[in-house]
Amino acid sequence: MYMIKKGQEAGLRYASYESVLGEVFVLGSGRGVVAIGLGLAEEAFLQRSLTDYETMPEKTTEGFSKVFSFFDDYFSCKEGCNIDFMLDLRGVGTPFDQSVWQVLRTIPYNQCRSYSWVAAEVSRLAEANGARRSSPKAFRAVGKACGANRLPIIIPCHRVILASGKIGGFAEAAGGVQMKRRLLELEGRNTAC
């Protein structure tokens, strides 16, 4: 469960964005974007929000213009889409997950990296920051961190594939492997990166 501390859950709100891949739902707090619903019906997105945050968000159209501008650029296939809005990752993921998500955000548009490459980068960053080096063979843990990512597209876990070049998995909550294929194709990649 992704916990926002008592008193902070008030004010969760969401909006929907119509994309070429279907409706995208954005959940936000007063501090930033909390989650993205990709490939989900609105009811499923709301149920996941209720389960994860123990509160039902309010639907609104206000406060999401920067996120929607990012989506406008992304879905019109513009490389170098800049994220100029805040993310609210309080209480989400382990320190390892957070490190994986940091590395994922460095993978350029229209490019892929393997789970093992991400694991090696996380290990390299840990060592560079004076922390205990994680195993560069932690590719399964990288897959788990990708599956825990609540911000698909913004934290581009869809760009992580198997070392063999096969597509690998993708969280069902983010639309499953079919959505991963569609995102890679949108970015101009075939499924073998």
Q: Which residues participate in catalysis according to the annotation?
A: 157
The SS3 of residue 161 is: strand
Do 4 and 90 meet the contact criterion of CB atoms below 8 Å apart? yes
Residue 30 half-sphere exposure toward CB, CA atoms < 13 A: 6
| E strand or H helix that includes residue 22 | strand 22-29
* Angstrom distance (rounded) from CA 193 to CA 176: 18
